[in-house]
């Protein structure tokens, strides 16, 4: 069954909001503008909301992992 256009738009908006939230966190961790601009929110052909992250600098990935570990440990 084909997806309705509004469903795809809603999924795309959800993905973009998630990408924006991740950009804000990565910015606080010191990510460069180039890294922040590489994040893309998009909807798949099935309507799944996805965030394409691409390649993160290792230092940023380590800082992100450490913050996640601290949050999970609480």
Query: Phi, psi (5° rounding) for residue 53?
Result: -100, -35
- What's the burial of 15, exposed, middle or buried (CB within 10 Å: 0-12/13-18/19+)? buried
* Confidence grade of residue 3 (pLDDT, cut at 50, 70, 90): confident
Residues paired with residue 42 on neighbouring β-strands, in sequence order? 50
69 and 40 Cβ atoms separated by less than 8 Å: no
What's the pLDDT at 16?
98
Domain that holds residue 13: 5-73
Question: How many domains does the chain divide into?
Answer: 1
pLDDT at 17: 98
* Tokens describing residue 74: 């609480």
Q: What is the pLDDT of residue 67?
A: 93
Residue 1 has pLDDT above 80, yes or no: no
> What tens digit of pLDDT does each residue of 4-23 get?
999 999 999 999 999 999 99
Mean pLDDT, rounded, for 20-46: 95
Task: Judge contact between 50 and 42, C-beta under 8 A.
Answer: yes
């Amino acid at each position: 069954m084909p997806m309705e256009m509004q469903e795809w738009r809603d999924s795309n908006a959800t993905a973009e909001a998630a990408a924006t939230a991740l950009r804000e966190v990565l910015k606080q961790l010191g990510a460069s503008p180039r890294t922040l601009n590489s994040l893309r929110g998009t909807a798949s052909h099935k309507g799944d909301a996805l965030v394409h992250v691409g390649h993160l600098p290792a230092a940023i990935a380590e800082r992100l992992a450490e913050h996640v570990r601290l949050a999970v440990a609480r």
